[in-house]
Chain A
Amino acid sequence: MTEAPVIATPGPAPAPGPRRGARWLAVLLVATIAVGGYLWVTTVRWQHNAAQWEQKARAYAEEVASLRMQLDAAGTELQAARDQLRTATARITDLANEKAQLGDENVASQQVLDYQTQVSAAAGTVASALGQCVSGQEQLVGYLKEADQYRADDLRRYEDEVNALCDEAEQANEALQQELRP
């Protein structure tokens, strides 16, 4: 038996419409699923990331709050220290001034004391001179009572010496009185 030759006659090309559209639809579906998957993964990652940042932010916020409290406390202490320093410096200035005034008074008192010592010494000298004057005059009076026993020029010379002594004592006394006069 002889097989009849098969003659393939080219038939009409398959219609591209429905099958090709289905293929592109499938591709689009897969792409959409892929993009959706990517977005889902991205969202999850960002959520996780955001949670970590929030946790970190809250930790730093607590640290900031703690540091603010420490800063406030330190600021208060610093202000108190400044106030104390201001008080201390004012006190030091007062004490330095008190010391200076006491020093001035001490020096002034010493000068008054020195002056009084000098005046006292001068008064003593004047008193002594006046005493010598009086003694000389008493002596002169005694000599004059017995004038016939002495030479006249000796008596005159003694009288001059007594007068000079008394004049000096009188001048010293006058100077002292003038010095003591207010």
Chain B
Amino acid sequence: MRRPGRALLALGLAVGLPAGALSGCGVLPPLPEPVPSDIVPTAPPVALSPAAGGDALSPDGFDAVERMAVRIRNVGCEELSTGSGFAIDDHTLITNKHVVADSRDLEVSTYDGHDIQVGATATAALADLAVVRTTDPLPSYPELAETDPGPGDPVTVVGYPAGGELTVTEGQVMGSTRDPLNANLGEVLLTDAPVEPGSSGSAALDDKGRVIGVVYAKTADDNSLLVPLSTLQDMLADDTAFTPAKGC
């Protein structure tokens, strides 16, 4: 006599096994997953970066190197001269001693023409450097570099050549030399960055915008001379290095 159970079992196996087994083994394609309602990632895919061509943010569109430069008008008793300077903190300017010499009044203005009220002025005996304290806050100031630059290092000079427009010039450090003017103790830096009378007191910056020296003279072959950063730091660290400037 035939047993129906065996036939049913065979049928079940015939129906269930092939699809399930073949699907599970990857021979047959599986059923698709349901389409998600939203596939937009919740987290930003990549960190946002400044758009191409975007420079460092500035409150008014001027570079930081321009914002820290100042123009100095030295009103003497009989004559008028101009020079440059730069901020090193909120109320302190660095410039050359010869820029503020024989002064009856110093008038300081910023990159955007604002006048800055000046307080005390002090000059160094052993370098062509001067410190001018201001009562008004200065808009910006750079960092000082860690060491003096070496030959071939890039240099950027920001100042007011010939008392004219704020100008940024670039060049390279050529090396160090004895001061031909004997205005500074020790060696000074020689660069090929163009400067003019009126650039005296300009900040010389490295490629990171840090101060590496102070322009104080121009040579006969159109190179520029800098008071090196190390001299500036030594003078600033010495409480007795600067004495009140004498007016005319």
Contact = CB atoms under 8 A, between A and B. Distances in A.
Interface stretch (A25-33, A133-141, A150-158): A25-33
Number of chain B interface residues as a range: 35 or more
Contact of B31 (A28, A45, A85): A45
B43 interface: no
A93 interface: yes
A95 B64 CA distance: 19
B71 A35 contact: no
A151 B126 CA distance: 69
Contact of A39 (B16, B28, B34, B160): B28
Nearest to B53: A82
Contacts of A38: 19, 23, 28
Interface stretch (A102-110, A120-128, A164-172, A174-182): A102-110
A42 interface: yes
B19 A108 contact: no
B234 interface: no
A95 B113 contact: yes
Contacts of A145: none
A97 B110 CA distance: 10
A53 B166 CA distance: 60
Interface string A98-122: 0111011001100100010000000
Interface of A: 23, 27-28, 30-31, 34-35, 37-39, 41-42, 45-46, 49, 52-53, 56, 78, 82, 85-86, 88-89, 92-97, 99-101, 103-104, 107-108, 111, 115
Interface of B: 7, 10-11, 13-19, 22-23, 28-35, 39, 51, 53, 60-62, 71, 73, 75, 78-80, 82, 107, 109-113, 160, 163-166
